[in-house]
Amino acid sequence: MSITFSEIRQKELKREYTDSILKTVSAFANCDGGQIVIGIDEINKAVINVLDYANLKLKIENKINDSITTRPRYEIKVLSHDDKNLLEILVYPRINTPYMYKGVAYQRKDTSTIPVDQVSLVELSLKGRNISYNQLEIDEDDLQFAVLDKKLNEVRPFSNFNKDILLTLGLFTNNKYNIAAKLIADNNNYMSMGVDMGRFGNSISEFIDRRTITGKSILSQYDGAVEMFIKHYSEIEKVEGIQRKKKQPIPYEAYRKAIANAIAHRNYLVSSNIKIEMSTIE
């Protein structure tokens, strides 16, 4: 067996067994799986013979089975190197997250094992249910979609906007709206999940213009961000040779795509506005 005396995100080396290994098992199960090798001193670059490995293997199995919920998928192997025995714990990723040790879920941060924060715990719980946050059903039944109706008609005109359309778009299931529907609806109560735009003067302490859009459809947030851009970065004309050409000081398409991506891919579990800072172009 070839020994590598260094740790990586999915590999941890231990001189001997301690219960802290169970935190790493939780972390590997919650992430992409990993390997724990017992019997290696990473500091001294030495292989330590694991005595009574058969009983230790059984002890670790019982510890994992009794203290980690839900039970992860793993296997423990006995390895040999220069007539010395090591134990290898292979932890495989699964979908039934979170995997918790003593009521706490862990994750890997580079080569460290740390408790997950509240947002990550919610994400792991949703992953275990095979749904995203946006798919969670809500109890509200009075959402309005005039903005969405207008946007859809701009793409393909139709005369009857109804819940069948929302069903097709994945915004209405089991006779309930979901969080995605609430985000797209004309109005919502997400007052800290909007877009905050500022146009600065000669320094960041000098505001020429500022606009914040919250509690509105993410479609309205997008439109407002584009309107702010056009207001402050309109086309300019430049003479090149004998020709007069219209140019944008900042590429419109690049800005538009950046805003669309920021709104579509932001983590809506985190209460924070998207910040757009506009400055003077020299």
The pLDDT tens digits for 134-152 are 999 999 989 999 999 999 9
Of 15-24, 157-166, 186-195, 257-266, the one with minimum mean pLDDT is: 157-166
Q: Give the pLDDT confidence score for residue 198 in this predicted structure.
A: 94
pLDDT higher than threshold 80 for residue 280: no
**Predicted local confidence at residue 1, as pLDDT:** 58
The whole model's pTM is what? 0.74
Stretch 215-243: mean pLDDT: 88
pLDDT grade for 254, boundaries at 50, 70 and 90: very high
Which domains are present in the chain? 11-128 (3.30.950.30), 195-278 (no CATH)
Amino acid at 124: L
pLDDT tens-digit readout, 8-54: 999 999 999 999 999 999 999 999 999 999 999 888 878 999 999 99
Q: What share of the chain is helix, strand, coil (3-state, %, to 5)?
A: 30, 30, 40
Q: What are the tokens at 12?
A: 């941890």
Average pLDDT, the chain: 91
pLDDT tens-digit map of 67-81? 999 999 999 999 998
Instruction: Please check the confidence at residue 281 and state whether its pLDDT lies above 70.
Output: no
Q: Decide if pLDDT at 235 tops 90.
A: no
pLDDT at 282: 59
> Are 101 and 115 spatial neighbours (Cβ–Cβ below 8 Å)?
no
Strands (E), 187-242: 195-200, 207-213, 236-240
pLDDT score recorded for residue 3:
67
As a whole number of angstroms, the distance between CA 245 and CA 247 comes to 6
Confidence band for 160, pLDDT divided at 50, 70 and 90: confident
Question: From start to end of the chain, where are the E strands?
Answer: 11-14, 34-38, 40-41, 46-47, 68-69, 73-81, 84-92, 100-101, 104-109, 112-115, 172-173, 176-177, 195-200, 207-213, 236-240, 243-247, 274-278
Neighbours of 60 (CB within 10 A): 20
**pLDDT, tens digit, 9 for 90 and up, residues 181-214:** 999 999 999 998 999 999 998 888 888 999 999 9
